[in-house]
Amino acid sequence: MAEDAYAVSRCDGAMLFLPYGVRETARKLGRGERAAAEEFRLRVGRLPAVLGPWGEKELPGEPVTKRDLEALLEIATGASAYSSAAQVREGFVTVRGGYRIGLCGSVSMRDGAVAGFSAISSADVRVSREARGAAAKPLAELCPGGKFRSALILSPPGGGKTTLLRDMVRLLSDGEAGRAGVRTALADERGEVAALCGGVPQFDVGKRTDVLDSCPKARAVMMLLRAMNPQVVALDEITAPEDAAAILSARNCGVSLLATAHADGPDDLAARPLYRELLAAGVFERAVVIGRQDGERTYSVTELGGAG
Amino acid sequence: MRLVGAALMLAAGLAFGLAGAARLTRHASALEAVSASLVVMESEICSRLTPMAETLALLASASPRPAALLYARASEGMAELGRKTFGEIWSSAVDGTPELLLRGDEAASLRELGLCLGKYDVREQAGAIARVRGRMEEFLRRAEAERDRGVGTRTAMGAAFGLFAAILLL
């Protein structure tokens, strides 16, 4: 019941960023729909829609206008688009409460780089939720003898890697079940894990966690190593060779690593050139594979083979 | 009795003239306060990327009056963001601050700022603020010239009117 109330309150919080007319319509959704809602999607000229386990369901009322999307961005940034320009250029805005608004439309270029949007044609408001305690069981398996062993969280896109990573960072940082908390540094390039807003994490990432966001992961890892003397470095989605190189450097500094990667499992991971070097170097000892059973997420911990 | 009436007429005329002169002075001071506050606004928004709500709160507390009143009203209006656009909130604040003594073209220029403020990136913000600040400075120069010409004239005219009325009464 408490979980349901939390899920509904997160949806209601996300609705606050919708343009006024859409928000009023969305408020008429039933409690069950609000508890399960994952995103609100707005496309110019189309009816707004709510995305959930049922797929996309159109909301009744007027089609979305260009002005609605401008209002959405204005509400999301608190009429301060300039202060979120770096994020807008990346196509999203992280807002208070830890919600994330994705943007799409006509991009304007300046000096060969994305300068912003000349027109926004669609947007989605994601109803992000914490899964407190979800990481407790897999984390216990990652800490034999009480010491955390470097690990990768694996799942296909949309599988819940970021949510699990967030809870794992929180538990590592705070400590749990007799295990002492450790200084954890979080390289949160896209601001999805801690969702810093005005310097304040919008999600609980633990009391010993230092967050560096909006910075390319490879650079962020090196900055965190130099500046914050972490015991664990966590990062979301290893996607580029530079990320892998930074991870190898971090490993040589003696810190433990926690990261996520798009893969169905260890075999799929080993088949990807980007990860082969990391696996061969034995950087990550274990993997947490996220699966689904009867609509519920499952977490299984497996050993990762490597030369090290 | 007539003498007292005449003295009162003279004083009233003089007071009327002085009030007109004071209004010219206040008008110029208000424009000066607005222009100065726009310099701070530009710095906060374009250099420090201070979010709009904080910028308005800062300007409300740090700007000279009556510009501070404009920002205080805009700052209060931010609670309505979502129901109203920022442009509407800003316009309401401009229209709801009669203490600024703005004339039609002056108010229109300041209202226009609300159409850009908070939108787009720093370069556009800087351009919009600089443009409006430039216009406000022109208005200020006009108001100062008017004040310099008008203070003496209005005081003298008020006194002359009072004196004329007093002579008629006598």
pLDDT per 10-residue tile (average), chain B, 170 residues = 74 71 83 93 92 94 92 95 93 94 92 88 89 93 82 68 71
Tell me, what's the ipTM? 0.75
- Average pLDDT score over chain A: 90
Q: CB–CB of A74 and B85 under 8 A?
A: yes
From the DSSP assignment, how many helices (H) and strands (E) are in chain B? 6, 0
- For residue A78, count other CB atoms closer than 10 A to its CB: 22
Question: What distance in Å separates residue A247's CA from the closest CA in chain B?
Answer: 32
Please name the residues in contact with B69: beta carbons below 8 A apart, sequence gap of 6 or more: B97, B99, B100
Q: CB–CB of A81 and B119 under 8 A?
A: yes
| Chain B residues touching residue A78 (CB < 8 angstroms) | 51-53, 78, 81
Q: Residue B81 is nearest to which of A23, A75, A198, comparing CB atoms?
A: A75
| Chain A residues touching residue B78 (CB < 8 angstroms) | 78-79
Checking if the pLDDT of A229 tops 80, the result is yes
Question: What distance in Å separates residue B119's CA from the closest CA in chain A?
Answer: 5
Average pLDDT, stretch A189-214? 90
Taking the Cβ of residue A81 and every Cβ of chain B, the question of whether any pair is shorter than 8 Å is answered with: yes
Residue of A nearest to B48 (CA): A83
Checking if the pLDDT of A307 tops 50, the result is no
Taking the Cβ of residue A77 and every Cβ of chain B, the question of whether any pair is shorter than 8 Å is answered with: yes
Question: What distance in Å separates residue A85's CA from the closest CA in chain B?
Answer: 6
Q: Cα–Cα distances in Å, from A289 out to A39, A164, A253, A297, A305? A: 25, 11, 27, 10, 15
Q: Residue A82 is nearest to which of B49, B82, B89, comparing CB atoms?
A: B49
For chain B, the maximum distance between any two Cα atoms, rounded to a whole number of angstroms, is: 71
pLDDT digits (tens, 9 = 90+) for A103-140: 999 988 888 888 888 889 999 999 988 889 999 999 99
Taking the Cβ of residue A94 and every Cβ of chain B, the question of whether any pair is shorter than 8 Å is answered with: no
Q: Residue A85 is nearest to which of B52, B85, B122, comparing CB atoms?
A: B122
Q: Residue A116 is nearest to which of B49, B117, B121, comparing CB atoms?
A: B121
| Chain A residues touching residue B50 (CB < 8 angstroms) | 83
Q: CB–CB of A75 and B85 under 8 A?
A: no
Q: CB–CB of B119 and A75 under 8 A?
A: no
Residue of A nearest to B47 (CA): A83
Res B120: pLDDT? 73
Res B25: pLDDT? 85
Checking if the pLDDT of A2 tops 70, the result is no
Give dist(CA B167, CA B165) in Å, integer.
5
pTM here?
A: 0.76
Helices (H), chain A: 2-15, 20-26, 31-36, 66-77, 85-90, 136-142, 161-174, 217-228, 241-252, 266-270, 273-280
| Chain A residues touching residue B125 (CB < 8 angstroms) | 82
User: Which residue of B56, B71, B84, B119 to mutate against A (max A Cβ within 10 Å)?
Assistant: B119
Taking the Cβ of residue A248 and every Cβ of chain B, the question of whether any pair is shorter than 8 Å is answered with: no
Indicate the pLDDT class of residue A165, thresholds 50, 70 and 90. very high
Taking the Cβ of residue A105 and every Cβ of chain B, the question of whether any pair is shorter than 8 Å is answered with: no
Interface residues of chain B, partner chain A, Cβ below 8 Å: 45-46, 49-53, 78, 81-83, 85-86, 89, 117-122, 124-125
Average pLDDT, stretch A292-306? 84
Residue of A nearest to B85 (CA): A71
DSSP states of A31-66: HHHHHH--EEEEEBTS--EEEETTEEEEPSSSPB-H
